[in-house]
Structure 1
Amino acid sequence: MTDDYVAQRYVHLRRAAFLMCGDWERAGEVARDTLARALTDPDVGDLDLWAYGDLMAAFKPSHGRREHVFVAPPEPAAQGEADVDAALGDVYTVLVLDALRRLSPKCRAVVVLHHFCHLSVNDTAEVLGIDGGKVTEYEAEGLTAFDDLMRITRPAVAR
């Protein structure tokens, strides 16, 4: 694995981790840990699918541990920024993160992998260890939740 690959994949893995947990610091740690394991695991086949699978495993809920997800804009806004489009973009970012937070962890993983990471249904199923039919079910649940949230909040955003 080359340094270029690590640098390029880190950005994508960190973004996927952020969408799963809503915390840039934790997302960076999980992405770095995933890449470190990829460097030392001799049985990595498709490196991208392996990396996404390893990353998603970090977000599997464990019994007795309460999931903590908070919503924050993905990047801090520039000081003094008065751009209305940027402000609306931040509002929509928070809405998307809030919708993701409301999904079950497995549903959130499907939506993140399939829609934000652009993995196929089959690749998403392979990464998560479920069949393609379940991916489709979780995807439908997630998209319905997004649609409901956006419909409910649209009047407030349009003001």
Structure 2
Amino acid sequence: MAKRDDEFSEYVELRRTHLRRIAYLVCGDVHRAEDLVQTALMKLYVAWNRVQRSGNVDAYVRRILVNSGIDESRRPWRRESPGLDGLDPPADSGLAAEDRRALMEALAELPAGQRRVVVLRYFLGLTIEETAADLDCSAGTVKSQSTRALSKLNELLTAQFRAVGGPHR
């Protein structure tokens, strides 16, 4: 049991920041993201031996994060808008701060399903098949959601670009 706990603790220590980033990208709120990570880690702990033997712990946790995000978004009290923006500094994506903000604002404008596809496919670099497995949908759904999401992001970012008069570089 001590070995199991040590292995789990080591995994959490190594992956917690990465999991928080995924959760934030999925739900768009710092506090909800932390709740999603805690839920995912509790579920992972219960299934740790089985999941670790399968060798795909990250995929299991991603799926928990996405499914928990879906469950939470369906609860009535989650329809309230968050009141505390900017508490968690954004991850360094290599973009200027203004460009990161524009991207996060555009990402927040996407419907939840499209946002999940974009996060899994383009932020995490999963294949279409891996994304479909994590979202429990077909590869065709991932492709169509990706196309719609990228088109909408392009539209939103182009409008922001024009509004400020050019790139922030």
Alignment TM-score > 0.5, same fold: yes
Superposed displacement of residue 153, structure 1:
1.3
- Paired position in structure 1 for 2:166: 158
Query: Secondary structure, in 3 states, of the residue corresponding to 2:63?
Result: helix
- Residue type at the aligned position of 1:144: S
Of 86, 89, 93 in structure 2, the residue corresponding to residue 75 of structure 1 is 89
- Unmatched segments (≥5 aa) in structure 2: 1-6
Contact 1:73 1:94 in 2 (8 A): no
1:114 maps to 121
TM-superposition CA deviations, 1:91-128 (whole Å, max 9, x none): 21221111111111111110001111111111110010
**Counterpart secondary structure, 1:6:** helix
CA distance in 1, matches of 2:29, 2:134: 22
Residue 138 of structure 1, aligned match among 134, 140, 145:
145
- For residues 143 and 72 of structure 1, the distance between their equivalents in structure 2, rounded to whole angstroms, comes to 25
CA distance 1:14–1:125, change in 2 (3 Å) = same
Q: Which has the higher helix share?
A: 2
TM-score by length of 1: 0.80
State whether residues 121 and 128 of structure 2, in contact with CA within 8 Å, keep that contact through their aligned partners in structure 1: yes
CA shift for structure 1 position 135: 0.4
3-state SS of the aligned residue for 2:118?
Answer: helix
Which residue number in structure 1 is paired with residue 29 of structure 2?
23
Name the SS of the counterpart of 2:156 in structure 1.
helix
Q: CA deviation at 1:157?
A: 5.5
Greater shift, 91-100 or 105-114, is seen at 91-100
Matched residue count:
149
Letter of the aligned partner of 2:139 in structure 1?
Answer: G
Q: Which amino acid aligns with 2:100?
A: T
Q: Using the aligned pairs only, state the percent identity.
A: 26
